[in-house]
Copies of this chain bind each other. A is one copy, B any other.
Amino acid sequence: MNFNDWTRSVQARTEAALEARLPSADIEPTRLHDAMRYTTLGGGKRVRPLLVHAAGLLTGATPEALDAAGAAIEMIHVYSLVHDDMPAMDDDSMRRGKPTVHVQYDEATALLVGDALQSQAFVALSDAPLPAVRKAALLRELAYASGAAGMAGGQAIDLASVGVALDRVSLEKMHRMKTGALLRAAVFMGALCGSEAPESLDAATLAASVQQSQQQAGGAAIAEAVDARTFATALERYAAAIGLAFQVVDDILDVTADSATLGKTAGKDEAANKPTYVSLLGLDEARKLAKQLQADAHAALVPFGDRAERLAQLADFVVERAN
């Protein structure tokens, strides 16, 4: 299957997976349920579910488990967009080519839609067709990536940075949290869905496991622990590269694409006087950085061989997309 067909098939699976996991608009509270479906279904590139499915190919994950993990992470992403668009935050009226939730419904509904989508993401993990040990590993990745140490924390730094001359290190930290953490979680969650993955991909746990096997166990256990750590390190490098590339390209598109192509208001970072990679580096250097990160993502995947084909193609997709 070529990449475009694969992308469309995962997007279709994801739409069905989300549809099945959102409460019906026929039952009370209907306005909440209707708004949850309005904002979640029928749009978006589904980049995070694509990463989940691509990473699952590394470890023999079932498509059904990946659907659950992909739906969960997409719900977190969508909730963050709903809250980010509210008047107290970015005050945006258009998203994915449609009026935002607080415009189409009202502010209280937008607040509750975001809150309920976050819970629903964890419901989706809870119901995933996976053993408890895998659910616990997914819970860890998703909860950390969503909260103060990840996406929500990154949004708070972003909020505090309007009109402030952030340097490149601070800008990178903000984006690593705001968008990078969830993209990284998508890669790790996809890999963790497969029975061939180590039970944990947490760096501290893996380092402890290498140390323990060196002290107490034989050669095979050491090799396994080292393999697990090598696996996690390669994934980490890939995720860091595409996470940053995603943001650099977002910043480039904010100044080069029009609102209709983007499905959201173009040029709004500049209007809000927000620091971006383009304002910091200039357009040409930002484009060079995106290309470097793309190459680094490919280099990170070398140890995985052919099984990483979709992850490699997604790195290209992230950098070469038009919206």
Contact = CB atoms under 8 A, between A and B. Distances in A.
A108 interface: yes
A146 B146 CA distance: 16
User: Range of interface residues on chain A?
Assistant: 35 or more
Interface string A1-44: 00000000000000000000001000011011100100000000
Interface string A72-92: 000000011001001011000
Contacts of A107: 88
| Main DSSP-derived SS at the A contact region | helix
A111 interface: yes
A146 B119 contact: yes
Nearest to A145: B119
A184 B9 CA distance: 40
A115 B114 contact: yes
Contact of A126 (B79, B106, B123, B144): B144
Contacts of A118: 115, 118-119
Contacts of A83: 111-112, 115
A322 B114 CA distance: 34
Interface of A: 23, 28-29, 31-33, 36, 79-80, 83, 86, 88-89, 106-112, 114-116, 118-120, 122-123, 125-126, 131-133, 135-136, 139-140, 142-144, 146-153, 155-157, 159-160, 173
Given A28-B157, A116-B152, A120-B148, 8 more contacts: A29-B156, A83-B111, A89-B108, A119-B150, A122-B139, A122-B143, A122-B147, A126-B144
